[in-house]
Structure 1
Amino acid sequence: MLDVSREQALAYRIAEHGLHREGTGTHELPLLDLGLQDSMRDTALLSLAARRSGPVTPESLVDDPRLVLVWSHRGAPHFHRRADIAELTASLVPLGDADALARMVWQQKELREAGRSAVDILFETARAIRKTVTRPMTKGAASTAITKLLPPAFSRWCRPCGTTHVHEQLMRLATLHGGVRLEAGQSPATLAPLADRGRLSTRPVPDAVARVLERYLRFNGPATPGDAAGFTGSARACVTEIWPTERLTEVRLAGRRTFLPTDRLPALENPPTPAGVRLLPPLDPFTQCRDKAVLVPDKGRAKEIWKILGSPGALLVDGEILGIWRTKATGKRLTFTVTAFDPLRRADRDATEAEAARAATARGYRDIAVNWA
């Protein structure tokens, strides 16, 4: 069995994530095989800026007709290639009730109490969404209309909204099955029908799910079945049933039994040396890996990077996360506050400020300031 050091694994991941910035165009970005999460302010745009060598602007994602924003993995919004939507939708069909319930995350208890199969609940909601969202409409309006078509057990009283509406996670998981996307760049969140809605299919496609697991391992491996299950939102027991063993090789990393797609072994054995500075936004695909102790072994530093609410961005220097950063917009100025865990070389500080300027441009700001905490 191949024994891999932490440094080797990180070097491999950085290369697979495209963080060497080798000139890939947006649509060709390999990470779009999994999707770029866009849960916070311009997260996907900043992840793109960290990987593309060319200019990135506020329009780079929202104006690309080859891309579409949908609620996908774990019910989180991701940009995907339009050409991949059919297979993506198939991969999100639960393998059974246990899988469907696991994907409901914090709303499992309430949906168990509905007295119905979790799979049935998901697809009844999808049918209501398909019937309701036939034109662009705000999430609030869509939720109100959908709720009226569903049994009361599918809904809950929402204090922030001051009304009863369909469970949030249930709606997110059902929307793509209902043939509905999100309008990129719109606030408040707006739903719209996909150009090609296709037919609603409730049939599990284990091979499609297995391919998602394999892609997770390509970008974030070597990793465990539990790590891959965490990305999809499924339960490990469900993942074990469809684990693509024939296409994977077992590798030992940090004392753990992990896996990597067999065709990526040469890249793991001889990865390029990480170099340079990148500003990774909160929820960047690189920091979204499930084995966070591999990325940042120091528990104190890990607590600064991954918070329950309001996580900062990560400062990546020569392959190691050596600090955090936040931004604050005041009028037309975007101010970056960077906190380094250890003193940085002058060249690294200069490179950080250059990356801040690049990130600001991606968000549409020309006036920037960088403060070192």
Structure 2
Amino acid sequence: MATIEVDRTQVMAYRVAAHELYEEPAGEPAVLDLGVQDTPPGTAAVGLAARRWTPPDDGSTVMIWSTRGAPHLHRRADLPALAAALWPLSDADAAARMRSAPLKAAAGMGLTAFRSAAQVMREVVTRPMTKGEVSRAVSDGVPPELTYWCPTCQAQHISGLLFQQVGLPAGVQLLPGGRPTMLAPVEGTPGVPAQAAGTGDLIGAYLRLLGPAAPVDVARFLGTTATAIRPAWPDGLQEVRVDGRPRFLPADRAEALLAAPPPRGVRLLAANDPFLQPRDRDLLVPDRARQKEVWRAISSPGVVLADGEVTATWRARTAGRRLEVTVTPFEPVPPGIRAGLEEEGARLAAVRGAADVRVLWTEDL
């Protein structure tokens, strides 16, 4: 297949269309193929509302620690395949996913570390339990090499990075209700995977929703390295050069990339929205100063997506039964975008359970 040449503008148009951000989804939104991150709690509901969809109250979706150990909302039916697809491909892959200071000594255990922690967690969580109760029991049950001394708690702890990454293969879900975090078993899930399977399909889902992308982008999304995922890199991809840089897209999406129309509309996207998950941030937000405002080390804001471009950040707070949304624009805002954000603010208020909303602009304060 001949290489396709496109620019950044066309890629952004494709991604907006792939995320169904300015149109009504035909059914469940496509972003559920990767899951919708819920960090901080409640943002998954905001992300789905931006796509004009509300999860049905029938148990068909479940909150679970999955990609990189972060909480995501997934289809319940997808969990068995997803657990196998996210299982490390090798000892080197497992070590790469445990790159945190408390676990340096455990990196050599590779897959054994994942398998041990997942099996212990599966045995421990047979009923609703607090996260602290589960952590204590798992820490006591795994090999000592997988724990470290926590001076704050004066106890040996399993690293939170490993602990949360094995939640999915252990068949453990997050229950709604806030604090303390409650965990419970997911009925009907298979045992801990014997080996990875279907990782190529998961990579394909990333490329379909967040492509065209390079192997290193996919690896960072999964919390590993491009070398580690190379054995699972799928066939049937179209090479795409984006402003001269090589990237890849499923071949059956090439026509959609070339035909994607200029996006028109405005949305309030929460921090960690699926649209903000690509690791090629220079493409998504070219300006470095704006990147620092969008992706902060602690407490990132939401963003305003106007005509396919990140044009502002926003934060919300509750004042009584009113939701106040404060928007900080990167540049002057046209009247039409302001009007659209009033509508989006009302939608956000409904998701947050507020009676009404007030949209404020920092440039007016």
For normalisation by structure 2, the TM-score amounts to: 0.94
* Aligned position for 1:45: 45
Q: Is 1:230 the counterpart of 2:230 in the alignment?
A: no
* Aligned position for 1:6: 8
How far does residue 91 in structure 1 lie from its aligned partner after superposition?
A: 0.6
Q: Identify which of 80, 83, 94 aligns with 2:88.
A: 94
How far does residue 314 in structure 1 lie from its aligned partner after superposition?
A: 0.7
Q: Is 1:327 the counterpart of 2:329 in the alignment?
A: no
Q: Is 1:276 the counterpart of 2:259 in the alignment?
A: no
* Aligned position for 2:176: 184
1:12 is matched by which residue type in structure 2? Y
> 2 CA distance for matches of 1:358 and 1:47?
11
How far does residue 146 in structure 1 lie from its aligned partner after superposition?
A: 1.5
Q: Identify which of 62, 73, 92 aligns with 1:68.
A: 62
Q: Identify which of 17, 25, 45 aligns with 1:15.
A: 17
Q: Could you report, residue by residue, the CA deviation over 1:302-357 in whole angstroms, capped at 9, with x for unpaired residues?
A: 11111111111111111111111011123322211101111111121111121011
> 1 CA distance for matches of 2:295 and 2:191?
39
How far does residue 116 in structure 1 lie from its aligned partner after superposition?
A: 5.0
> 2 CA distance for matches of 1:40 and 1:115?
29
Contact 2:239 2:247 in 1 (8 A): yes
Contact 1:323 1:341 in 2 (8 A): yes
1:282 is matched by which residue type in structure 2? A
Overall identity of the aligned pairs, in %: 44
> 1 CA distance for matches of 2:177 and 2:259?
40
How far does residue 233 in structure 1 lie from its aligned partner after superposition?
A: 1.3
Say if 1:259 and 1:115 are closer, same or farther in 2 by CA, change over 3 A.
Answer: closer
What secondary structure does 1:188 align onto?
coil
Q: Which moved more, 1:10-19 or 1:194-203?
A: 194-203
1:34 is matched by which residue type in structure 2? L
How far does residue 185 in structure 1 lie from its aligned partner after superposition?
A: 4.0
Aligned pairs (5 A) from 1:282-297 = 282-297=271-286
Aligned pairs (5 A) from 1:205-284 = 205=197, 208-244=198-234, 246-284=235-273
* Aligned position for 2:150: 158
Aligned pairs (5 A) from 1:97-136 = 97-107=91-101, 110-114=102-106, 116-136=108-128
> 1 CA distance for matches of 2:104 and 2:31?
35
Say if 1:163 and 1:24 are closer, same or farther in 2 by CA, change over 3 A.
Answer: farther
How far does residue 360 in structure 1 lie from its aligned partner after superposition?
A: 1.2
Say if 1:115 and 1:289 are closer, same or farther in 2 by CA, change over 3 A.
Answer: closer
* Aligned position for 2:167: 175
Contact 2:39 2:271 in 1 (8 A): no
Contact 1:21 1:50 in 2 (8 A): no
1:88 is matched by which residue type in structure 2? L
> 1 CA distance for matches of 2:357 and 2:30?
30
> 2 CA distance for matches of 1:105 and 1:78?
21
2:29 is matched by which residue type in structure 1? L
Q: Could you report, residue by residue, the CA deviation over 1:206-239 in whole angstroms, capped at 9, with x for unpaired residues?
A: xx11111111000111110100111111211012
How far does residue 277 in structure 1 lie from its aligned partner after superposition?
A: 0.6
How far does residue 164 in structure 1 lie from its aligned partner after superposition?
A: 3.1
How far does residue 11 in structure 1 lie from its aligned partner after superposition?
A: 0.3
How far does residue 275 in structure 1 lie from its aligned partner after superposition?
A: 0.6
What secondary structure does 1:95 align onto?
coil
Say if 1:327 and 1:160 are closer, same or farther in 2 by CA, change over 3 A.
Answer: farther
Root-mean-square deviation (CA, aligned residues, Å) is 1.7
* Aligned position for 1:77: 71
> 2 CA distance for matches of 1:231 and 1:291?
10
> 1 CA distance for matches of 2:161 and 2:359?
37
> 2 CA distance for matches of 1:80 and 1:94?
19
> 2 CA distance for matches of 1:115 and 1:328?
42
What secondary structure does 1:302 align onto?
helix
Contact 2:212 2:248 in 1 (8 A): yes
Q: Could you report, residue by residue, the CA deviation over 1:51-109 in whole angstroms, capped at 9, with x for unpaired residues?
A: 11x6x5xxx46x341001111111111111111111001112211111001112324xx
Any gaps of 5 or more consecutive residues in structure 2? none
Give the number of aligned pairs: 360
Say if 1:252 and 1:114 are closer, same or farther in 2 by CA, change over 3 A.
Answer: closer
How far does residue 160 in structure 1 lie from its aligned partner after superposition?
A: 5.4
Q: Identify which of 190, 194, 209 aligns with 1:198.
A: 190
> 1 CA distance for matches of 2:299 and 2:316?
12
